Structure 1
Amino acid sequence: MAQDKKKEKVRRMMLSVLRQLRNVRKGGYAAMRHPKIKESATVFFTTESVATLKPEPTAVRYKVTRGPYATVTDSHLRFFEDLLGKDRLITDPDECESYNVDWVKMVRGCSRLVVKPKTTEEVSEILRYCNVNRLAVCPQGGNTGLVGGSVPVFDEIVLSTSLMNNIIEVDNISSTLVCQAGCILETLENHLAQSGMMMPLDLGAKGSCQIGGCVSTNAGGLRLLRYGNLHGNLLGLEAVKANGEIVNCLNTLKKDNTGYHLKHLFIGSEGTLGIVTKIAIQCPTLPKAVSVALLGVDSFEDLLKTYQLAQAELAEVLSSCEMIDRASMSVCTDNLGLKNPLVINNDGYEFYMLIETAGSETRHDEEKLNQFLEKAMEREIVKNGTIATEPTKIKISSFQNIWQLRERITEGVMRDGYVFKYDISVPLPNFYKTVHALREHLKDPRIKRIAGYGHIGDGNIHVQVSIPEYIDEIAHQVEPFIFEYVSKLKGSVSAEHGIGFKKTQFLHLSKDESAIKLMHELKQLMDPNRILNPYKVLPSL
């Protein structure tokens, strides 16, 4: 019996590693996370660095006080075993560790129990029991978040939706998809492609992130410029409240003007009001022609002019418009060994633009893209560029892939050491000012890189400050400076990653006191015992 348990533990460990390797090969964000298998971690990190990747507990680093919650006992475990069976519970400390640490190694909890339901009804039973017994719950999907929202702070029970991965229905006529919350975004994308459709959102973490987590954080991504955010694309959902009640708002109607749009309460609530279990989403038609252009420009002013020209010239076929500064590009070329096709004589440009077009006729789209580039070159706002029009050159697993120069920036900067990552939105004229302000403000020689990249089309910039390892002194130099600066620019402290654990104390910089008060009232109404994802989103009262 003991030998069988040991074999099962090794089997689960290897499955975890293979799952991570699969996600890495697909271009996802997930890094090797199992602390016992250091040699496998060389996919993203050197073997020597893996031992230092485990951060100190969140409660210690950020000085958090534990809430009035019960601790998991043997009687609690017996209930979950009876409900799910032993094979869908994880209690081994080593196996729990990957659920306790976020993938950027910023926060770390100490949960001793992971439960894996397969149905909405099982989620309902779990939450009903936890609510009665005052057991805190941390919902977790693909664990690709960047604000500490998907891992425990203390010993909350982790409710993993990874086994809730059924695609329920694809309607080719109405162009809709219904599925469970645990479906991987890339899996949905591939499934829809067989029916000539696509998902309206595209993330660098698509090989790992789950659609329920995307909805719960209102994930934006690379296609928001063209298709909008999830508030507009999600047609309906099913969710479970803290007391176990199932809220069924799952329909596929494009128009349903019957009372309160309750689905919007759960979109972006990060699991604090309820756990999303199923979603219905409208899916655009898969484009027949896709082109991508990588452009080099000398200044941010020229970059803005190029974006304005792209809006005017490309109009209906413009699907993405991304900005990458020199420092961000270098994490891909220097840290990952990717090739920058615009480098001449070992010299690049201060800024790069990645523009994608998607339409129905290749010749038409190519002509529009070429006309746009000719005008940009004539006006001398673009200095150099390259275009890929064949689908085989776009978003495939290759180091020569143009899109990987954008999608793998986060992976590349992780090799610098510890990274302070900020997801902010500011008015376009001020888009890059935060990076300049940080470079003026931060003079500590231990700082390796201050860089910015992001979605120029929707005003969302990702700012990264990398250092060899976490240093509390530098953390205090960065925060709250960056959030206060963004507030002065009339921006938002979170554009698409949410508030999670890391930004609760800065929510007031983007939300009026009256709005935060109403948010607390909604939380009290829907989760009076505050068992759902505690310490997240809302500041302490």
Structure 2
Amino acid sequence: MIKLITILTSNVKRINVFSQAKYSTTFLPQFSSEKYDVKRKKFGVLNSTDVDYFKSVLSEDRVLTEESDVLPFNIDWIKNCRGQSQLVLKPKTTEEVSQILSYCNEKHLAICPQGGNTGLVGGSVPVFDEIVLNFGLMNNIISLDDISGALVCEAGCVLENLDNYVRDHNLIMPLDLGAKGSCQIGGNVSTNAGGLRLLRYGNLHGSVLGLEAVKADGTVVNCLRTLKKDNTGYHLKHLFIGSEGTLGVVTKVAIHCPVLPKSVSLGYFGVESFENVLKLYQNAKSSLGEILSAFEMADNDSISATLDSFKLANPIAEYPFYVLLETHGSNEAHDNEKLSRFLTQGMERGLILDGTVTSELTKMKNIWHIRESIAGAGLAGGYVFKYDVSLPLSRYYALVHTLRERFSHPARVYGYGHVGDGNIHINVIVPEYSKEITAKLEPFIFEEVAKVGGSISAEHGIGFRKPQFIHYSKDKTALNLMKDLKKSMDPNGILNPYKVLPDVVT
């Protein structure tokens, strides 16, 4: 029986599940260079003269050299990658970033730009001794236009802080992630992060109005416009959105913020099969239309592992699949009518077996917490291979079945993700990392994705983990053009080396 609860205006502050998992043990991962057998490129070697220069540009407390201080910046949050940086720089202004990059470019010192360090493909941590350029202190909100919804801020602003700020002005951020309490907007833009509501608000290529970035030679590129329409020449901002800090370092962002919805509801349903999940999604698109903001799916293994790991309670009984559906609207009575019709049809057709629908703040927070905790749940069970791919919806869940057939106990395979944009996250959990298991997974999983015209990275980027596999999603001509852009904008290759582009185009 579906439990209907009166729909209220919501302002949900999510629990930051990334903080629960990050550095949850004292285990230090193997150095990335050893684990993945990577050779250091011919960059300059940091010396005391370089450190003294950086201290002259920044205050001494913003130049970290102590091993214990630098260590957290060398490790990604899932403890898969570990760099060997000896220096972390924490600028406060674009001018400081420009001076740092100009100097590093002249000395051929490699740089690893870093935001909240919540990435899953190793793009935000060094591989060798790259200098970490951390943006956590560039966290000022510059302006907000209440009428147009244009927010201008520095790259180090934490996404959740921005969302809380604009909500006070009757707006919301167009981006929502499980890591919102830690991730920074500059990193979001640099990786073209997707998130939970891409179905409704689109990706960052559409939401980012303009940006400011610094090239490898220290040149500041000012594309910081707040206009919705600006058709003057090349759209240079798009070069930096999703390039993961390899073409330039984003320092400021102008982003369009949608109006805060007056009516929000959240449904959590038990479903018998993935075929029925797709039928329910079709119904949701036709019945809910413009108020549908999110349509998430998780299989039983995903939810069970999360409930067990974090000792959470499931608000409904156990089912093979679960759907989390959210609506954003402006008229409560109108939205209730559409939602009621959708639920009636879903139950009559047997697509919805059980569920709960609510807009009560605590209940919504608890349900979202289950969904957002899935990413961190597997970390307690061993080593997690995480894959983030886009697939045609007809083939969306088939890869999970394929991998389960390929791997037997003790490996566990489960899938969850954003049905509304074709993005599925697949976790393969094994007792410990081994190159044998890696070889069995890669490139097999990317070959399977390519066979059906999918993408090997839906929203996490390429980072350090996937450059050798990017050809499964980009052909040789596209890769050569990308290499030309890299050579033109960063001829010495100092910006985030070993990331995104393969050394050899196959």
Taking structure 1 as the reference length, the TM-score comes to: 0.90
Indicate the residue corresponding to 1:415 in structure 2: 380
| Structure 2 residue 489 is matched with structure 1 residue 526 | yes
Superposed counterparts of 1:487-502, under 5 Å: 487-502=450-465
| Structure 2 residue 349 is matched with structure 1 residue 379 | yes
How far, CA to CA, are the matches of 1:275 and 1:285 in structure 2?
29
Superposed counterparts of 1:285-304, under 5 Å: 285-304=259-278
Indicate the residue corresponding to 1:429 in structure 2: 394
Contact 2:316 2:354 in 1 (8 A): yes
Q: Deviations over 1:418-443 (max 9, x none)?
A: 10000000000000011011011123
Name which structure has the greater RCO, CA cutoff 8 Å, separation 6+: 2
Find the partner of 2:198 among 224, 234, 242: 224
Contact 1:69 1:136 in 2 (8 A): yes
Find the partner of 1:30 among 19, 34, 56: 19
Find the partner of 1:91 among 65, 88, 106: 65
Contact 1:292 1:394 in 2 (8 A): yes
Give aligned-pair identity as a percent.
58
**Following TM superposition, by how much is the alpha carbon of 1:360 offset from its aligned partner in structure 2, in angstroms?**
1.1
> SS of 2:72's equivalent?
helix
> SS of 1:403's equivalent?
helix
Indicate the residue corresponding to 1:45 in structure 2: none
Unpaired runs of 5+ residues, structure 1, are 1-23, 35-40, 42-49, 396-400
Indicate the residue corresponding to 1:439 in structure 2: 404
Indicate the residue corresponding to 2:221 in structure 1: 247
What amino acid is the match of 1:537? V
Specify whether residues 431 and 25 from structure 1 end up closer, same or farther in structure 2 by C-alpha distance, changes over 3 A only. closer
How far, CA to CA, are the matches of 1:417 and 1:25 in structure 2?
26
| Structure 2 residue 297 is matched with structure 1 residue 332 | no
**Following TM superposition, by how much is the alpha carbon of 1:468 offset from its aligned partner in structure 2, in angstroms?**
2.1
Contact 2:22 2:78 in 1 (8 A): no
Unpaired runs of 5+ residues, structure 2, are 1-12
**Following TM superposition, by how much is the alpha carbon of 1:475 offset from its aligned partner in structure 2, in angstroms?**
1.4
How far, CA to CA, are the matches of 2:368 and 2:339 in structure 1?
17
Find the partner of 1:189 among 147, 163, 172: 163
Specify whether residues 507 and 351 from structure 1 end up closer, same or farther in structure 2 by C-alpha distance, changes over 3 A only. same
Indicate the residue corresponding to 1:363 in structure 2: 333
How far, CA to CA, are the matches of 1:215 and 1:25 in structure 2?
21
**Following TM superposition, by how much is the alpha carbon of 1:474 offset from its aligned partner in structure 2, in angstroms?**
1.1
**Following TM superposition, by how much is the alpha carbon of 1:362 offset from its aligned partner in structure 2, in angstroms?**
2.0
**Following TM superposition, by how much is the alpha carbon of 1:364 offset from its aligned partner in structure 2, in angstroms?**
2.0
Indicate the residue corresponding to 1:146 in structure 2: 120
Superposed counterparts of 1:47-196, under 5 Å: 50-51=25-26, 53-196=27-170
**Following TM superposition, by how much is the alpha carbon of 1:31 offset from its aligned partner in structure 2, in angstroms?**
4.6
CA RMSD of aligned residues (A): 1.2
How far, CA to CA, are the matches of 1:327 and 1:531 in structure 2?
42
> SS of 1:30's equivalent?
helix
> SS of 1:341's equivalent?
coil
Contact 1:33 1:98 in 2 (8 A): no
Taking structure 2 as the reference length, the TM-score comes to: 0.96
Indicate the residue corresponding to 1:450 in structure 2: 413
| Comparing 104-113 and 355-364, the one that deviates more | 355-364
> SS of 2:287's equivalent?
helix
Q: How many residues align?
A: 492
How far, CA to CA, are the matches of 1:267 and 1:32 in structure 2?
28
Contact 1:486 1:492 in 2 (8 A): yes
How far, CA to CA, are the matches of 1:411 and 1:503 in structure 2?
21
What amino acid is the match of 1:538? L
Specify whether residues 25 and 174 from structure 1 end up closer, same or farther in structure 2 by C-alpha distance, changes over 3 A only. closer
How far, CA to CA, are the matches of 2:19 and 2:64 in structure 1?
20
Structure 1 stretches (4+) deviating beyond 3 angstroms?
30-34
| Comparing 53-62 and 128-137, the one that deviates more | 53-62
